[in-house]
Structure 1
Amino acid sequence: MDASPSRSRVHGLALPLAAGLCAIALVSGCSGSNSNASQAGATKPGSTQQNSATRPADDLQAGFQTVIKNVLPSVVQIDASNSLGSGIVYDDKGHIVTNAHVVGEEKTFKVTIATGEKVLSASLVAAYPQQDLAVIKLDDVPSGLEPATFGESEKVEVGQIVLAMGSPLGLSSSVTQGIVSAVGRTVTESSAGGGTGATIANMVQTSAAINPGNSGGALVNLDSEVIGIPTLGAVDPEMGDSAAPGIGFAIPASMVKKVAEQIVKNGKVTDSGRAALNITGRTVVDDNYQPAGVALVGVTKGGAADEAGLRAGDIITKIGDTQITTIISLSEALAADKPGQKVTVTYLRNGAQKTADVTLGEI
């Protein structure tokens, strides 16, 4: 799966916005010419039958408006000098969680909250590119700052209606709507265009529009809970890496909370929860110049691979039953595993195939 970060490099963008409403009339025809009977079967405007038919739509609209009212004040726009992104108010002390690719290499930021046009200053607490998450902190915390409520990732289900809130293309406080279209996706972010190149597991896939500038914002359920941070939009390499409409990905709330809590408390991530072989590697190709495995360039002394007897020059071809052809496929194979878990690694050494049982380490 190819994906690209959805931050915006557009400043001062003025876009003409138009809303189109289409009314569709459904007409049922009957045989015969009894006009009185036809009139008797018609529904008069304002009748009980018409009201009951429109009530579900009214209820859903009211639900959307309630969620927006509850959550949008907790979603901010972040100006990181040469890029724009979004963020979520994490607590009442002024901590804001966002994507690492939104903050980039910057240390200071301009933040606009949804409840006012006043621009606030903020500073970086820490970034964790391995999970494409970061926390910044407002230098002065305004009164009435509203932290968002984060939901439980295990309760997210395909088909749930969700709203994406953020600042696509610099249009602050924008809301789009869709559903959860898949869960448990493992996606590798592009390292081009400011991306971190991170491989992220258990992402929430959504049909809600995720555009440049939405990164770091909120994917919200109808209980006004943040269930993820919109981070990536899928791209189609066969179409010149153009965006694939209706396919966006959000980092699950459980991982957001895990990383943010550590950064707020310790100023860094001390427990990633991410499995690793503790190696550096590179993709190798076969005689037909096709990716054929990952050669170990370096093995960390005392790390998982070293303890299992792997050494520089070995070429990994499988993790368990999963074929490994590139460094990205290796990262994706390990993304859902946990430190301390045992896996069987198949590798080549001097052309001979071997296996090793490896107890995974931690990133």
Structure 2
Amino acid sequence: MDIARSRVLRLLVPVVVLAFVSGCSGSGSSGEPEKTTEQAVVPMAAGDLQSAYQKVIKDVLPSVVQIQADGDLGSGIVYDDQGRIVTNAHVVGDSKAFKVTTANSEDALTATLVYSYPDQDLAVIKLDKVPGGLKAAAFADSSKVAVGQIVLAMGSPLGLSSSVTQGIVSATGRTVSEGRSGGGTGATIANMVQTSAAINPGNSGGALVNLDGQVIGIPTLAATDPGLGNSAAPGIGFAIPASMVKTIADQIIKSGKVTDSGRAALGITGRTVVDNGYQAAGVAVVAVKSGGAAEKAGIEAGDVIIMLGDTDITTITSLAEALAEQKPGDRTSVTFTRNGSRKKVDVTLGEQ
């Protein structure tokens, strides 16, 4: 059985493991009435939370599907009642046709690609025939996602369809980069939601859901720890925020492609260069886009970019991550070397 490969993020800093030990708590009194009250409250709270989980799962899981593309398995979310499904670009890969299994049926449905946008690792596919009762998911306002929120991740990890894991929002506003190995798109994505909910192979493209039954993001990356042989770093996963998913999906549905990426661009083709000690030392400009931001600023092929604004640039990935923090039309500076001389120019960023 072919299992979908996981997309991983290579962490560039050591992972520090912190162990927390829970101590015993007490009120300083051994009176029986107080113990009785405490014992009565805890099960009630746990029961309420369990009921909330079960309601969310019942409401949202029918909107989460399993996608098979060229032997690999991933997940997707029903986007509308016309049979459109949003997922990760790395899930669809180079495929144009797919088999889709819903939570309420074991029979696979056929679907075709509408458009894939690898730069944001998002894609839309459409069912060839829309089954009765297909339910579209509700998407949350990403600006209201907060650290500490309880979330559920729904998808098909390791081919186990309709699986659910639980965690919290660990952080927001993360900028992360995918690798290209193993089928990744190499995308650098800003404003991602970090979660402790388990993200396993096959979860990609599924749903990260709050307790209001709204999708807050699409699970996309699971972190790995280089210090442990690139094995999974438990409890560190990333999801593309719902607002970005809606922005891209709506453009694809309306125009058949992405017309306004919202992603800043310098307008160059570049590659990482190393210094005499074989350490990454900047981005060499291989080609400059005609009419692009770099050409207008006077940057030429052969220049080596070493800073964008106040951010040091050592690799093509660090340049992509710095650009991900900007927006088209933003003014910044580019510092580069040319024939051994250091230069700095102002630039108005274009759109990718």
What is the Cα deviation at residue 41 of structure 1? 2.6
Partner of 2:162: 173
Q: Which amino acid aligns with 1:313?
A: G
Letter in 2 for 1:202: N
- The DSSP-based 3-state class of the residue aligned with 2:57 is helix
Deviation string for 1:181-209 (max 9, x for gaps)?
A: 01111100010001000000000000000
Q: Which residue of the partner structure matches residue 8 of structure 1?
A: 4
In structure 1, distance between residues paired with 2:68 and 2:219? 17
Secondary structure of 2:138's aligned partner: coil
1:114 Cα shift? Answer: 0.6
Q: What percent identity do the matched residue pairs reach?
A: 69
CA distance in structure 2 between the partners assigned to 1:53 and 1:129 by the alignment? 47
Letter in 2 for 1:166: G
Q: 2:84 aligns with which of 78, 95, 99?
A: 95
CA change 1:253–1:27 in 2 (3 A) is closer
1:285/1:292 contact within 8 Å kept: yes
Matched, 1:211 2:207: no
**Pairing of 1:181-196 with structure 2 (within 5 A):** 181-196=170-185
Unaligned runs of 5+ in 1: 1-6, 11-25, 31-37
Partner Cα distance (1:82, 1:343) in 2: 45
What residue in structure 2 maps to residue 320 of structure 1? 309
For 1:193 and 1:136, the matched residues in 2 are separated by 22
TM-score (structure 2 length as normaliser): 0.91
Whole-angstrom CA distance in 2 between matches of 1:313 and 1:323? 18
Matches within 5 A, 1:326-337: 326-337=315-326
- Counterpart of 1:35 in structure 2 is none
SS, match of residue 62 in structure 2 = helix
- Would the aligned equivalents of 2:5 and 2:182 in 1 still touch at CA under 8 Å? no
User: Within 5 Å, which residues of 2 pair with 1:193-342?
Assistant: 193-342=182-331
What is the aligned residue count?
332
Q: Do the aligned partners of residues 266 and 27 (structure 1) sit closer, same or farther apart at CA in structure 2, a change above 3 Å counting?
A: closer
Cα distance in 1, alignment partners of residues 289 and 196 from structure 2: 41
Bigger Rg, structure 1 or 2: 1
Shift of the alpha carbon at 1:237?
1.6
Q: Are residue 128 (structure 1) and residue 117 (structure 2) matched?
A: yes
**Letter aligned with residue 32 of structure 2:** G
**Contact map agreement 2:165 2:197 (CA 8 A) in 1:** yes
TM-score (norm 1): 0.88
Q: 2:342 matched to which residue of 1?
A: 353
SS at structure 2 position matched to 1:172: coil
AA aligned to 2:157 is P
The code of the aligned residue for 2:111 comes to A
Residue 41 (1) aligns with residue 56 (2)? no
Any stretches of 5+ residues in structure 2 without a counterpart? Answer: 7-23
Cα RMSD after superposing both structures: 2.0
Write the distance in 2 (CA, Å) between the matches of 1:146 and 1:353: 58
1:42 Cα offset (Å) = 7.1
Shift of 1:8: 1.7
* Helix, strand or coil at the partner of 2:113: strand
- Post-superposition Cα deviations, 1:65-109, rounded to whole Å, max 9, x if no partner, equal 111111100000001122100000000000000000000011100
